[in-house]
Each structure stands twice: as C-alpha cells, then as structure tokens.
C-alpha cells in the first residue's frame, strides 16, 4: 500500500500541486525564484514528468508561475489575467451575469473613489484631468470617446492606490469596455448626454480634488444611475434628439 510515501497519500497531480502550493504559500518560493527543473521535480516527488507539467500548467493559468521555454519555471507576481479569464468564461455561460458584473464594478469604483479622495497625489489629479479633457475632446466619437470614458474611470481606481481594487476593476472593466462604447453611441440619439457626460465627469473630478469622499461617492453613483437611465430609455426607443424622426 505504501507505494507513495513521498509526502502524503495524494494522487500524483495533487501531490505535486500541494507540494508547490505549500512552498508558495509559506513564502519559501517567492516571485522571481526559479523552480527546479521538471525532471528533478518529478524524481523528487516520485511522479512522472507529464504529471509535473500538469501541476505547473495549473499554476500557470492561475498566474502564479511562468513556464519559460528552455529557461525554466519561475514564480511570478499574481496577475490580473486570471480573473479576466475567469470572468470571461463565467460570463459566456451566464450572460445574465453582465448586470451583476456591472454592479460589482460600481461597488469597486465607489470604494475606490473614496480612497482616492484620501490618497490621490498630484500625479493622480493630473491623470484625471487629462482624462477629463480627453472626454471633452472626443465627445462625438464612439470609439475614442468610449476609451476616454474608460480611462477616466480607470484613473479613479488607480488613484485609490489599492492594488486589489485596481485588479478587480480592470478584470471587470475589460468585459465592460463595449458598454463604454455603446454608451457613446447613445450620444447620437441623446444629444443631452453630451452635457451629462462632460458635466458629470467634471463634478466627479472636482469632488476628488476637494477630497470629499461622500460627495465623490454620491456623484459617481448618480453618474452611473443616469447612465442606466439613458440605456433604459434607449431600450424602450425613447429619444430626445431634436432632429429625431419620432
């Protein structure tokens, strides 16, 4: 029965994965470290190389390590892409999750803006200002405008100086980029949105500058709410375009 006494009674893959997880979690394997070769790992744990590769591949998709061809396997700093992948897959199989993700994004961003009010430095302010200017310049362009919008919101999160919030936000923002763009397409149907987009973002910016978390949060929430309202009206076919046919 004692065919496997290397570590525990785990199966091959689990054994290797657990072995590596232990060292990873314990800190004996830190970002930048190079793991021993696959072959060594295999003989060390008494498993075959393909099994070791499975474990390494598993860690790779989790963004924990990076397998470099003909170089070796090195520990990396956890990366956003994992969450991105996950949300992408998750969303594909549950499209109704989109609204949910949007809610999470609002959550992250509202918390971020509060922190931003406390922690933002001059560079953050400048980045926000540039993004704000860009929004004004690209107000009539769907693509560039959507990008500018995205940049502004990203700047808020970056200004929070919170790695976790940034990671979460960017992993979700990727899925919502098209939402920024489609929002800009609404501008064609709702000229009044121009004012909304520019003024809202300006007010948000000013609240951060004033370092007023409550006002910033409230303004940002209102911003999202108005955006939702526009989208709702677009769905029902309502328009306020002066030259609208209906």
Partner DNA sequence: GTTAGCATACTGGTCTGACCAAGATCAGAC
Partner DNA sequence: GTCTGATCTTGGTCAGACCAGTATGCTAAC
Which positions touch a copy of itself (CB under 8 A)? 13, 21, 24-27, 30-31, 50, 53-55, 57-58, 60-64, 77-78, 82-83, 85-86, 88-90, 92-94, 97, 100-101, 103-104, 106-108, 110-112, 115, 160, 162-165, 168
Q: Give the Cα separation of 153 and 170 in Å (integer).
A: 10
Report DSSP state, residue 36: P
Q: Which is nearer to a copy of itself, 135 or 158 (CB)?
A: 158
9 binds, among DNA, a copy of itself, none (CB under 5 to 8 A by kind): none
Q: Give the Cα separation of 81 and 74 in Å (integer).
A: 17
Q: Give the Cα separation of 138 and 145 in Å (integer).
A: 5
46 binds, among a copy of itself, DNA, none (CB under 5 to 8 A by kind): DNA
Structure-token match 């375009």, residue found: 241
- Shortest reach from residue 201's CB to DNA, in Å: 45
Lookup: tokens for 155 = 């700047």
Q: Which is nearer to a copy of itself, 30 or 231 (CB)?
A: 30
63 binds, among a copy of itself, DNA, none (CB under 5 to 8 A by kind): a copy of itself
End-to-end Cα distance, the chain: 80
Q: Give the Cα separation of 9 and 150 in Å (integer).
A: 50
Side-chain-facing half-sphere of 237: CA atoms under 13 Å: 2
- Shortest reach from residue 34's CB to DNA, in Å: 8
- Shortest reach from residue 187's CB to a copy of itself, in Å: 27
- Shortest reach from residue 2's CB to DNA, in Å: 13
φ, ψ for residue 173 (rounded to 5)?
-60, -35
108 binds, among a copy of itself, DNA, none (CB under 5 to 8 A by kind): a copy of itself
Give the other-Cβ count within 10 Å of 56's Cβ.
20
Q: Which is nearer to DNA, 11 or 222 (CB)?
A: 11
Q: What angle do CA 124, 125, 127 make, to 5 degrees?
A: 65
Report DSSP state, residue 5: -
Q: Which is nearer to a copy of itself, 13 or 196 (CB)?
A: 13
192 binds, among a copy of itself, DNA, none (CB under 5 to 8 A by kind): none
């Amino acid at each position: 029965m004692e065919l496997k006494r290397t570590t525990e009674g785990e199966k091959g893959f689990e054994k290797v994965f657990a072995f590596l997880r232990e060292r990873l979690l314990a800190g004996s394997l830190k970002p930048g470290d190079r793991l021993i070769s696959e072959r060594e790992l295999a003989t060390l744990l008494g498993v075959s190389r393909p099994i070791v590769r499975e474990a390494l591949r598993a860690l790779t998709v989790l963004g924990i390590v990076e397998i470099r061809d003909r170089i070796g396997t090195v520990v990396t700093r956890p990366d956003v892409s994992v969450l991105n992948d996950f949300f992408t897959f998750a969303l594909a199989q549950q499209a109704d999750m989109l609204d949910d993700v949007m809610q999470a994004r609002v959550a992250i961003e509202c918390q971020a803006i509060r922190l931003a009010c406390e922690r933002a430095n001059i560079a953050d302010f400048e980045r926000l200002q540039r993004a704000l200017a860009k929004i004004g310049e690209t107000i009539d362009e769907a693509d560039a405008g959507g990008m500018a919008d995205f940049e502004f919101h990203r700047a808020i999160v970056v200004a929070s100086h919170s790695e976790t919030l940034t990671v979460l936000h960017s992993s979700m923002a990727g899925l919502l980029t098209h939402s920024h763009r489609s929002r800009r397409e609404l501008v064609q149907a709702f000229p009044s949105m121009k004012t909304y987009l520019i003024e809202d973002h300006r007010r948000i910016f000013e609240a951060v500058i004033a370092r007023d978390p409550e006002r910033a949060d409230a303004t940002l929430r209102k911003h999202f709410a108005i955006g939702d309202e526009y989208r709702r009206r677009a769905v029902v076919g309502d328009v306020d375009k002066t030259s609208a046919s209906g």
